[in-house]
Each structure stands twice: as structure tokens, then as C-alpha cells.
A and B are shown apart, each in its own frame.
Chain A
Amino acid sequence: MTGTALLFLVLGLGLIGWIAGRARAAAFVRSAKGGPRGTVNSLPYYHGWFVAICAIAPALVFMFIWQSISPALVTDMVLSAPAAADLPQEGFARAAILSEARAIAQGFQIAAFQNESEKLVPLYKSALAYYKLIGVAATLLLLFAGGAYAFTRLKPDFRARSKVERVVMFGLLVASLIAILTTLGIFASLIFESWRFFSMVSPFEFLFGTEWNPKSVVTPGADNGYGAIPLFWGTIFIGAIIAMIVAIPLGLMSAIFLTQYASATVRKWMKPILEILAGVPTVVYGYFAALTVAPAVRDFAVMLGFSNAASDNALAAGIVMGVMIIPLVSSMSDDSIAAVPNAMRDGSLAMGATKSETIKKVLLPAALPGVVGGVLLAVSRAIGETMIVVMAAGYTANLTANPFATITTVTVQIVALLTGDQDFGSPHTLAAFALGLALFVTTFFLNYVALRVVKKYREAYE
């Protein structure tokens, strides 16, 4: 029996428990005297839920625990068999043989590459079957025990509702804790892997080195080509400079035009069109940048006299990224301009200022903190953007301010480092996590500051 089938069996039995509990409570209601519900404390379906929860919850918890401990038990059982005695003692070869034998026994792999693992397959098969049987039996036992216990507790005055509601509240709390758990998971995995990386490569080299040419075998103390400054520069140049040169004027002016000048009809049509720009997947932008924009930019650069312009130039990636960001800047500016009190605008207009003078001299200065917050969010979004730069910008680290040259970014290198060898402990893989940590910390900081600025600004006018 597979895990999925067992899961469905458990849920199906839970449903039967629900029906049984509800039927029993309905019988209480029928036999009770006085009033439509008589002296029964809770509605029948709460009794049903009580039985179902008591039956399913322990069984599911057990299944989860069993899933995580049974592999170790299986391995122990295989190793204690006499056939396993002549396995190599050395860790890596031993683990390889064991995992291969296990894969064959489970049907993931068809034939063995190592002779030793062939012998262990039947052992594994019997051990797996043995523990699976125990697991299924114990799950069902728990299920029936829980269900039976709950069923016997049902009485007309049993407070099923408050019990069920307590479980519901617990479920709500657990669901919200998942957000914390995810954040912790990100933090822990990034820090842990970066720690392993920095035990091989010095953090000093990583943070201040100017040469990015990562070697797969590192020698402690020597220069291993893990200087991330060119990547940081490339990320800032594409995401925070070129993209913002495109996104800030266009986004801000779009917001001003749509909120201050456009008629209601134009606004109704143009706002969703701008939002489509935000909904286009980044892989589409990346393809467009690589296929259409980049060659055009290169031709333009050659026309200007930059004969060495690269086809995977920074400018194309930056421009397309800027366009992607326009809706974000526009909607943030829109919100902050709308939050400026009308009295300020009316006052300026009453003094004889034209609309554009009012916008430039009154609305924008008043809305500036909100706009700045929006721009910070946009920068954080741009430097974390992956697909556009992976497809349109290059893989060569280059410490230059020439927008027609190939420049690589942090996200591109994360993708590149995880493409090659897939050994999890290699310096390449770990370097990707170190870069991820740098990216996470930067975006976290930017988001935090941006949200603070925006919040403070909103409070100022409320």
C-alpha cells in the first residue's frame, strides 16, 4: 500500500467517523424532550467533527513521524543482517551502495551499477515490507482507537462545539506560524550554507575581492576567484541605475498623467493596460530582451561607434527590467499622490498656479516620501529579478560602467553556480547560498526601510 493510498484510506475512515458521530448526535436530538434541539448541547455536525478529528489527527501525526524515522529503522535492519557484514567500512562508498540498493528495492532504479548492492536488494525489500506493514497497522490501530474513544464520549450534554472550536483555533494559529517558519527556514538554510562556504573561502575575499572566476577546488588562504564586487556592481548597475532611469520617469509621469490629467474613461482603460506589464512573466521579458531589444541596442551602439558592443549587453536587460518595474513605481506614486490632502492642492490652484505648477511644487514635494518608498521597493524588486538578466545579460563578470558591455549580476551567478556540478557540498553550490544571503539581506533591508518610510508618510497626513 502506498503512502497516498493510506492517506486516502485514513481520510475515508475519518468521513465514516464524521457520519457515525453525526448520526449518533441526531439520535440524541430525536430522543430528547423539550424544544427543537432538546437538551443536546451542540449541533449534531459538531459531534461528527469531534469523532473525525479524534480519529484522523493522531493517525496523521503518526504517519508523518513514521515517514521520517522508518528509513533509519530499515537501514538498521539491513545492516544487522549477516550479508551486510562485508560492506566497505568507509563512509562514502558504503552510503552509495546502500542508497542504490534501496532505490532498486523501491523500484526507482532498474539495474545496479555496483555488485555489492545487488545482494542487499532482497534484504531491503523485506525490511521495507516489514516496516511498512507495521506502519500501516499502527496507523489504522490509532485511527480506530481515537475514533472509538471519541464515539463513546458522545452524550447529549457533551460540549462537542467548544472542543472542535479549540482545534479550529489551534489550526488557525499553526497556519499563521508557517509564515514565521518559512522566514526562519530561509534564514537558517542561507546562513548555514554560507557558514560552510566561508569556512572554505574567506569572507574578506568574497566581500572585497574584485575578481570573480570561481574555482571548483579551493585552497584556503589563496585567491580562489570568489571576489563578488563585480557581481554587486553589476546588480546595482542594471537593477538600481539603468532600470530606474527607465522606470522612475515613466512610472511617475504615468501616475501623474493618469491621476491628474486623464479623463475617467482614459484612466479606466489605461490603468489595467499598465498592470498587464506587471503581469507578464519575467521569462517572457527575458526572451524579448534577448531576442529583440539586445540586438537593437547593439546595432545602436555600433552606430554610435562602440564597435566592441556585446550582444548580451547590460543596457538591454536594464531597459526591459525598467519597463517591468513601471507599474510598481506608477501604482506606488499614484497611492502617495492620492494621499496628499485635497486642501493643499486646492490652495495652490486658488492662488493661480497652473496644474503642472501645483503638481511640481506642491503635490510632488508632499508625496515625496511615498514616492521614495515606492522606488526603494522597485529597486529591491529589480535586484532580485532573475530571468531577465539570466537570459539577456551575460555570464562574464565585468567591473565596468559601459552599458554596452557584458555585465553579470548576483542572480545570474546563483543560477550559473547551481547549473554545473550538483554535489551539494561543493564550493560552487555553497557560493550560490552566500550570494543568496547577500541578496536576501539587501532586499530585506530595502523592503524594511521602504515600508517604514511609506507608513510614516501615510500617518503624517492622517
Chain B
Amino acid sequence: MSEAMTEPTPTDWNGQIMQKRIARRYAAERRFKVMGFLAVALSTVFLAFLLFTMMGQGLRGFQRTEIAVDFDFPALTSGTTAAAISGPNADAALNSMDVPGIVELAVSQQYGDISEGLLTSGAAGNVRQMLMDNPGLVKSKQQLWLPVDSRLDVAFKRDGEPAAEQTVATLAQKDALRTGFNWTFLTGADATDPSAVGIWAAFKGSLMTMAITLMLAFPVGVLAALYLEEYAAKNKLTDLIEVSINNLAAVPSIIFGLLGLAVFLTMFGMPRSSALVGGLTLALMTMPVIVIAGRNAIKSVPPSIREAALGIGASPVQVVFHHVLPLALPGILTGTIIGMARALGETAPLLMIGMRAFIPAAPEGFTDATTALPVQIYLWSDEVNQGFVEKTSAAIIVLLIFLLGMNALAIYLRNRFETRW
């Protein structure tokens, strides 16, 4: 030891041993960097794969297979005139016309022995709507394109059951099939037949639920954030509030569902599966997120603003509501949108409050039984019928587009209005 101290030999950096060591260390450095890159790349690839899978399956869900059906209306309707099914009495006239019977007859006349189960269950409704929109159709022979049954739809788009494939091949030979845009999917409600389902009902349910959530969580969250950041004295009560909020922000969402079940449904007897109860439950879940985002936004408003306002004679309430809140609002709104996006994608608490039933109509009011978009995705994913696979993915695409839109809005708001002090 002492020898080395007295006679230090300088490191021979060009020597073989040292060069090897440095090369090893640099190799380790490169390996580590590559590992880091791989971690990021793997996460990105997973995301891309997820989105790609959903797109690949889901885009088919926006399409439907249609079949050409010839309607000899004058013969089928025994000479009903256009005037009879237009005007104020159109509804009653169409009801007495037995549209489903007419459709069935027309299909069996044209396609004979394969006509059984050719059309989707909603086809008669489509014909009825066409007649309603354009009563002139009944005057002559018409060729109408109607959506086919789900089995054939699956068989035409990709592989289906052998029997369905055979029917599709026969029909394709006659040039009787085409692919059209599935408007029903955007305007309809849940149904047992995958070719007749739509997401409008679930979407409306989600919107109504979100409206309740926003109406409750936003004011309460902002007021609580203002109180904690601007007025709260440092005492036990304030500590308790802070602990509660931090804890609530991390409580699993399913627990909020249990709370909603025990309190809103059982104790207060509110209507099961309604947008009202869903909105209340999600509001309790979203409120802490808004409080935390709001506090950060309020904290970033510099004290000089408050002091200046106080200095020219504003009261403490005026300081906050006239000066601090408007300056913090962009930040609060950003946090609120992110919280709402999370609530929009939330499924588990809604299942707890009974949103898992088959509901074939859009809700009319806040107390009607409804379903929500993510719940609808869950329900469809449980279906055995192959036709639901693409519908589930299509619903996921709609949900993701909305979430992406909300997040983009949040980012835009942040960049556009956020002031750096």
C-alpha cells in the first residue's frame, strides 16, 4: 500500500488490459441504452398492435352486407296508392299494410328455398322507413337493398359457417350482394341480432351520465380546491379533508360502484341502472381528480396577483373569484376534461349499479334504465355470436375516438390558455 503511494504508476490507458476494460464498459453502456430503447419500443408496439387489431376488426362493423330484393309493390300491396301512405295518417296506414309480411313474400318469391333467414330482423323496419320517406315507391316495381342476416354478413366479409358460406356463394353469383355503410350502427340501440345493433342508445346513455357527472363534480371539485388552497386554516379538519381526497383519488373504481349500490340504490331507492345514479357514482369518483388538478392550477397563480388585488381593496372572496379563479381556469378545465375522459371509459362502477341489462331503446330521461358505451362494449364482448366481434371493436373505435378528442381538447386548452408566470 505504502509502496504504491510513493511510487504511483500512471494507468496505461493504451495497454491491452485497459483497452479491453473500456471496451467492455462501453459495450455495457450500449447494451443498457438498447434495453431502454427496447422498453419504450415494446410499449409503443403493444399500443400500435392494440389499435391496429381494433381497427382491423372494427372497421368492418361500420359496414353491412346488403341484398337486392325486388318488390312488385302494386301486386304486393294490392294497389295501395302513394297518397294513402303519406300525410298525417301514414303511420296507421303503414301499420295496416303488414310490411313484414310483404317483405317476407317478396323475398320468398325471389330467392325461393334459400329465402329463410336471409334478411336481418330489422329489415322490415327499413322498408317501412323507406316507404315513409318516399311514398312514391309503391306505384311501381322497385329493387331495394336490404341488410342481410348476421350469419351471412359474417360469411360475406370473412369466414363464416359452411352453410352460410354456401348461401353467400350462390347469392354472389347472382350479383345480389353488396357492401354498404351501416347507418343502423350509428343510430340504433342494442338488439339480439348483431346485424341490427346500434350504439346510439349506449352513447346517449353515456352522454347523459357524463352530464350529471360534470354538473356535480365540476362545481364541487372547483369549490373544494379553492377552499383548500385559498382559505383553509391549517388544522385537523383540513388535514382530514386532504387525506380523504388523496385517498379517494386512489380508491379502486369498483368500490365506488359498491357505494352507489349501497347508498343510492338501496338506501335512497333511486332507479336502478339509470343515468342519474351512474352520474352520481362517477361524480364521486371524478371529484377528487378535479380537486387535485384544480389545486395545482390555483397554486401556480403567483401571489403577486392576490396581493395586488388585496392592495386595491378587494375582499378575500373577490380576490379569489375575480382574479385567481379566472387565471386558474384553463388548468382546472384541463384537469376536468382528463377526469371526465377517465369517467367516460369507466365500466366497473356502472356494472355495480345494475347497468348490465339488455336495454333495446335509448333512454328518454335521467331516471330511465340505460346502458353506457363501455358497458355496451362489455356486454357485446360476452356474446357468443360471431357477428358481435366486429360490432364490439367498432364500438371501441367510437369510444377511443371520443377519448382521443377529449384529450386533444385538454392539450389544446393547456397550450392555448396556460400562462407561464
Q: Which chain A residues have a beta carbon within 8 Å of chain B's beta carbons?
A: 161-162, 165, 168-169, 171-173, 175-180, 182-183, 185-186, 189-190, 192-193, 249-254, 256-258, 260-262, 270, 272-274, 276-277, 279-288, 290-292, 323, 326, 354-357, 359-360, 377, 380-381, 383-387, 390-391, 411, 414-415, 418-419, 422, 424, 432-433, 436, 439-440, 443-444, 447-448, 451
Contacts and interface: CB of A to CB of B under 8 A. Distances in A.
Interface string B319-356: 00100000000000000000001101111100110101
Nearest to A252: B39
A357 B287 CA distance: 44
A172 B231 contact: yes
Given A180-B244, A424-B266, A186 B399 contact: no
Given A172-B223, A418-B261, A356 B47 contact: no
Given A176-B228, A177-B241, A323-B43, A384 B399 contact: no
A179 B291 contact: yes
Given A283-B374, A283-B378, A380-B250, A411 B258 contact: no
B179 interface: no
Given A182-B244, A193-B262, A261 B28 contact: no
A283 B348 CA distance: 9
Interface magnitude class on chain B: 35 or more
A254 B39 contact: yes
14 contacts: A168-B317, A250-B39, A250-B42, A254-B36, A257-B36, A280-B400, A282-B346, A288-B54, A356-B28, A356-B33, A386-B254, A414-B352, A440-B251, A444-B247
B40 A254 contact: yes
B254 A274 contact: no
A387 to B, nearest CB: 5
A253 B35 contact: yes
Interface string B256-272: 10110111001000000
Contacts of A272: 411
A440 B342 CA distance: 20
Contact of B50 (A283, A288, A355, A451): A288
Nearest to A165: B317
Contact of A357 (B25, B38, B284, B378): B25
Given A178-B287, A182-B284, A274 B226 contact: no
A277 B45 CA distance: 11
Contacts of A251: 39
A354 B26 contact: yes
B226 A258 contact: no
Given A274-B43, A357-B25, A176 B255 contact: no
Nearest to A2: B365
A274 B288 CA distance: 24
Contact of B258 (A286, A414, A422): A414
A175 B231 CA distance: 13
B224 to A, nearest CB: 4
B417 interface: no
Contacts of B46: 277, 323
B248 interface: yes
B40 A183 contact: no
A283 B43 CA distance: 19
Given A190-B258, A384-B253, A387-B348, A183 B247 contact: yes
B258 A189 contact: yes
B99 to A, nearest CB: 27
B170 interface: no
Closest 9 CB pairs of A and B: A384-B252, A281-B345, A257-B36, A253-B39, A175-B223, A356-B32, A189-B262, A386-B348, A172-B227
B24 to A, nearest CB: 11
Contacts of B232: 176
Contact of A386 (B252, B315, B396): B252
B253 A391 contact: no
B43 A254 contact: yes
Nearest to B374: A283
Contacts of A439: 252, 254-255
Interface of B: 25-26, 28-29, 31-33, 35-40, 42-44, 46-47, 50, 53-54, 219-221, 223-224, 226-228, 231-232, 240-241, 244-248, 250-256, 258-259, 261-263, 266, 284, 287-288, 291, 315-317, 321, 341-342, 344-348, 351-352, 354, 356, 374, 377-378, 381, 389, 392-393, 396, 399-400, 403, 407, 411
B42 A443 contact: no
Nearest to B33: A261
A352 to B, nearest CB: 10
B47 A253 contact: no
A326 B50 CA distance: 15
Contacts of B44: 270, 273-274
Contacts of A173: 227
B224 A178 contact: yes
B29 A356 contact: yes
B248 A183 contact: yes
Contacts of B219: 175
B255 A257 contact: no
A175 B224 contact: yes
Given A274-B43, A433-B262, A253 B347 contact: no
Contacts of A290: 381
A44 to B, nearest CB: 15
Contacts of A186: 251, 255-256, 258-259
B346 A249 contact: no
A284 B396 contact: yes
B59 to A, nearest CB: 16
Contacts of A292: 53
Nearest to B406: A279
B392 to A, nearest CB: 6
A335 to B, nearest CB: 14
A100 B307 CA distance: 62
A281 B407 CA distance: 13
A432 B351 CA distance: 13
A256 B226 CA distance: 36
Nearest to A323: B46
Given A172-B231, A175-B223, A386-B254, A281 B347 contact: yes
Nearest to A99: B269
B213 to A, nearest CB: 14
Nearest to A287: B381
A381 B399 CA distance: 22
Given A179-B224, A183-B247, A253-B40, 19 more contacts: A173-B227, A178-B224, A179-B241, A179-B288, A186-B251, A190-B262, A192-B262, A253-B35, A270-B40, A273-B47, A279-B342, A281-B403, A287-B393, A355-B32, A356-B28, A384-B254, A391-B381, A414-B258, A444-B251
Contacts of A182: 244, 248, 259, 284, 287
A187 to B, nearest CB: 10
Nearest to A451: B246
Contact of B346 (A165, A190, A276, A281): A281
Contacts of A444: 247, 251
Contacts of A253: 35-36, 38-40
Nearest to A414: B254
A246 B394 CA distance: 29
Nearest to A257: B36
